[in-house]
Amino acid sequence: MATADLEGTAKALVANGKGILAADETPTTLTKRFDAVKIESDPNSRRDYREMLFTTPDVARFISGIIMQDETIRQKSSTGTALLDLVAKQGIIPGIKVDSGAKALAGSSGETVTEGLDGLRERLKDYRQMGARFAKWRAVIRIDDGIPSSDCVAVNAHALARYAALCQEQDLVPIVEPEVLMDGSHTIERCEEVTGNVLHVTFNALFEQRVSLERMLLKPNMVIAGKQCSQQATVDEVARATFRCLRRHAPASVPGIVFLSGGQDHLAATMNLNAINQLDAPKPWKLSFSYGRALQDEALQVWLGKQQNVQAGQKMYAHRAKCVNAAALGKYSKAMEGKLAA
């Protein structure tokens, strides 16, 4: 029987323009990111990287929570403190990714279903005991000719709802992430149509499985043209389409919507979030961020796996966190970018 104040935690995660650092790449994914900038990937270098981010001074002004991965939540810092404790000591809420990844969907070509429900209740208990207060599960929906199929959307929504119900039972705030990928040549209109359908089916599954909407967060993609589409939308078009889609399909009782960056670069992810928040319309939910690449890429490129670059990497991360925090309040301006050195 759940007893914790999950609504309070959900609200705290999106208070005052704050948002979440998604630092939950699996060792395989982080190795790919390291490879791209020629950093050797092993448990120690991954630990050092996370430690750099998690100990960035004063970043709790902009970052409310950090999503960790199973390897990280069990690791100790270079000085012997659990990484989770370093996060909590900063006043940042620790979270944990609990799905085990998107796997090929039987009977379909090119579609996936996210796995990880077996034994989930026990794993959630363990993570909560370690100190996690929220969790994340990512469903992946790809757009192409004839896909997504309705069964792909349905099975992913069903799994998201099963995960979310278990989280609330175990006193963890579920972040429900149905990601419609930016990969492909589809138009922004097609992205809006698919995202709307995915949200509709997902909230229906959440309702059927008695998930309390006040005690969860939604982590969607922005509505955006595919990366290979010849017609790229403007910032204003992305903001309007994203907001319209959410207003149609995300119930007002959800306290916060935290976007993923999904392959947008750090500037696009910052400007689009800002434009959404600047729209002159009533917004029932807080509109904030749970960015992975958009918050980390600049820091990773400065750090390069070298101890002497830790401070410079932290500076880059803190700068981006400050900019996206301003964007979540609709107060970002390009002029902020020049102030990094200060």
Query: Is the Cβ of residue 171 or residue 297 nearer to ligand 13P in the bound state?
Result: 297
- Enter the tokens of residue 92: 């940042």
CA nearest to 205, candidates 140, 137, 153, 141: 153
Is 22 an interacting residue with respect to ligand 13P (CB under 6 A)? yes
Is 320 an interacting residue with respect to ligand 13P (CB under 6 A)? no
The active-site residue, picked from 18, 97, 136, 219, is: 219
Is 299 an interacting residue with respect to ligand 13P (CB under 6 A)? no
Is 258 an interacting residue with respect to ligand 13P (CB under 6 A)? no
Q: Say if residues 200 and 156 touch (Cβ distance below 8 Å).
A: no
89: which DSSP letter?
H
* Tally: H helices and E strands in the chain: 12, 10
- Minimal distance, residue 40 CB to ligand 13P, in Å: 22
307: which DSSP letter?
G
Which residue in 11, 138, 186, 249 binds ligand 13P (CB under 6 A)? Answer: 138
Q: Buried b / exposed e across 196-214, counting CB within 10 Å, b at 16+?
A: bbbbebbbebbeebebbbe
Q: Which stretch binds ligand 13P (CB under 6 A): 111-119, 154-162, 226-234, 289-297?
A: 289-297
Q: 18 catalytic, yes or no?
A: no
- Minimal distance, residue 129 CB to ligand 13P, in Å: 24
Q: 219 catalytic, yes or no?
A: yes
The active-site residue, picked from 25, 111, 177, 298, is: 177
Beta-strand runs (E) in 73-202: 93-97, 102-104, 112-114, 134-141, 173-180
Is 287 an interacting residue with respect to ligand 13P (CB under 6 A)? no
The site for ligand 13P (CB under 6 A) is made up of 22, 138, 177, 260-262, 291-294
Active site residues: 177, 219
